[in-house]
Amino acid sequence: MTLSVAAVFPWGALAQLRGQGINVPQAVVFLTDSRWTIMNSARPALDIGRKLFPIAKDAAAVYAGDVEGGEYCIEQLAWEIGRSSSRNGKHFLRIAEDTFKRTYADLKRRRMQQRKELHPLYILIGACRPEGVASLSYLSSESKFVPKPLTGVCAIGAPQARQAFAAALNGEAQKNKGMFDTSTAVDGWAGKLATLLSSQVITSSADTTVGGKVQLGLIDKNGFRHVHIARTPIPFPSQTRPKWEWITAGKDDLVAFATAVASGVLSAADLQPHQIAE
């Protein structure tokens, strides 16, 4: 299984300060674990995949659920966005909805021919326009990929891990009166989320299907960036097809990117986006 988190920045006490006129630039934070579990298999889990994908210069997605479905749908979305001349937010989400419906249905037909099961798919898509307006949406195969707008900190994935992360986040908020970092910069707040995921979920083994290292990404008005970079192919849209780039980093910065495989058939309630904090 997995734990994927996306957050519209600012949240908590900083969001209230922004509402009082203090300048706090908006952004979207993404983070995931790096555990790849093999369903119905005695093979050990692998911490070598990825599940955070840039899909445009100012947009990215994370997913939980069927691994092939997630990668296939997001790759196709990156291709469609690369072909589109419009960057309107509503048009962007219509492309995502249509692409996911078509791609998931195609994969479902192929799985039926192979007599294999296609697991549900859950995706969080975030974007931040050049003028600095951030947005986050949730799309699910169980709701026909109709986009649902979200705010604050939201998580999809393994229920126990999600609960442990929520408890850690709420505890940190209460301890610091809603301020996760003393600055108004997104990097400090994002780093706090990554620390909580690593220490309170992964290291604590709150859910053994969530593990490995943490992948962290940010989108602000300047576009998408990985806080940590892995020696992993990264899909990025060109004008015609996604371009696979080989990105490297220093040894100390290498992070295993995550790909999640559902460890069983879960109900819709198990994987609905869990809003942790406003």
pLDDT in tens, 183-208: 788 988 898 898 899 889 988 888 88
Q: Which domain holds residue 194?
A: 3-277
| % of the chain exceeding 90 in pLDDT | 39
Q: What is the DSSP letter of 180?
A: S
Integer CA distances (angstroms), 232 to 124, 219, 239, 248, 258, in order: 21, 19, 22, 7, 10
Record the pTM.
0.80
Looking at per-residue pLDDT, the higher value among 182 and 275 belongs to 182
DSSP letters for 110-132: HHHHTT-----EEEEEEEE-TTS
Given CA atoms 62, 246, 79, 136 in this order, what sign does their dihedral have?
A: positive
Q: How far apart are CA 128 and CA 134, in angstroms?
A: 4
Q: Is the peptide bond before 25 cis (omega within 30 degrees of 0)?
A: no
Residue with tokens 């192919």: 233
pLDDT tops 60 at residue 120? yes
Helical packing angle, 186-196 and 159-175, nearest 10°: 130
Q: Nearest-CA neighbor of 270 among 120, 146, 90?
A: 120
pLDDT tops 60 at residue 32? yes
- The phi, psi pair for 48, rounded to 5°, reads -130, 0
Q: What is the tally of structural domains in the chain?
A: 1
Using an 8 Å Cβ cutoff, are 256 and 34 in contact? yes
Beta strand extents in 148-200 (DSSP E only) = 148-150, 153-157
Using an 8 Å Cβ cutoff, are 229 and 248 in contact? yes
Beta bridge partners of 14: none
pLDDT in tens, 217-253: 999 999 999 875 333 333 433 333 333 322 222 222 2
Q: In CATH, what number is assigned to the domain containing residue 264?
A: 3.60.20.10
